[in-house]
Amino acid sequence: SQTIHQWPATLVQPVGSPLSLECTVEGTSNPNLYWYRQAAGRGLQLLFYSVGIGQISSEVPQNLSASRPQDRQFILSSKKLLLSDSGFYLCAWSGWDRVVVETQYFGPGTRLLVL
Amino acid sequence: GQNIDQPTEMTATEGAIVQINCTYQTSGFNGLFWYQQHAGEAPTFLSYNVLDGLEEKGRFSSFLSRSKGYSYLLLKELQMKDSASYLCAPMTTDSWGKLQFGAGTQVVVTP
């Protein structure tokens, strides 16, 4: 069965510091991968998605970036965090081995607080 | 882009039925997802509709009318654990694989 991991689970960072969040998927090959952010009490905002290694599409211009160095690894980064980067960061995957291939399955999330 | 409209909050008592409506405006519609999100947790997949009609899955059912741009999620025999946010997410052919989520409907189940 497929599983998706994210770490860290919680992070408190000062403004201006760098960021690296990691997401890995197990039990599937060539998944589509997604990064979302959810601000407190708000909806999900799609940040990045990837259909393959090294292929990243950005949905919202901002100070964040994403990379996919391996098939089942997706990384969200920032060089300098802003206060507005605080939120709940969710990684998701979808894949051809599911009945409905477009269904997205979410990881447990990383709660980021920028102070 | 897409316009997705769902109520902000609904309250119902344990054992009751609640219907969460979602209207959307999209071009090239290609299916609609419903997700459940408990406070502080990640969303979990509930249902997917691509054809008109009702899909039943235990206590939860989802309905779609493509011509009206309308869907609803029906929660029957409500339990306290059903207190959560319910997210409507239509998908379009020009954004294949990407979901645009509504803001969610917070369902509060009271004893």
Q: Tens digit of pLDDT for each residue in A4-46?
A: 999 999 999 999 999 999 999 999 989 999 999 998 878 899 9
- In chain B, the DSSP E strands lie at 3-5, 9-13, 18-25, 29-37, 44-49, 53-57, 60-65, 70-75, 84-92, 105-110
Chain B residue at shortest CA distance from A109: B42
Please state, in angstroms and as integers, the Cα–Cα distance from residue B13 to each residue in B78, B83, B96, B109, following that order: 7, 10, 38, 5
Chain B residues touching residue A51 (CB < 8 angstroms): 97
Cβ(B10)–Cβ(B106) below 8 Å: yes
Interface of B with A (CB under 8 A): 30-31, 33, 41-45, 48, 87, 91, 96-104
Alpha-carbon distance of A58 to B66, in angstroms, equals 29
What is the reported pLDDT for B5?
Answer: 95
Check CB contact under 8 Å for B43 and A106: yes
Who wins on pLDDT, B8 or B98? B8
What is the reported pLDDT for B27?
Answer: 77
- Residue A84: what are its φ and ψ, rounded to 5°? -70, -5
Name the DSSP class of B109: E
Alpha-carbon distance of B53 to A105, in angstroms, equals 24
Who wins on pLDDT, A53 or B94? A53
What is the reported pLDDT for A107?
Answer: 97
- C-alpha neighbours within 13 Å on the C-beta side of residue A70: 8
Nearest Cα residue to B59 out of B29, B81, B92, B30: B81
- As to burial, measured by CB atoms within 10 angstroms (0-12 exposed, 13-18 middle, 19+ buried), residue A32 is buried
Chain A residues touching residue B30 (CB < 8 angstroms): 102
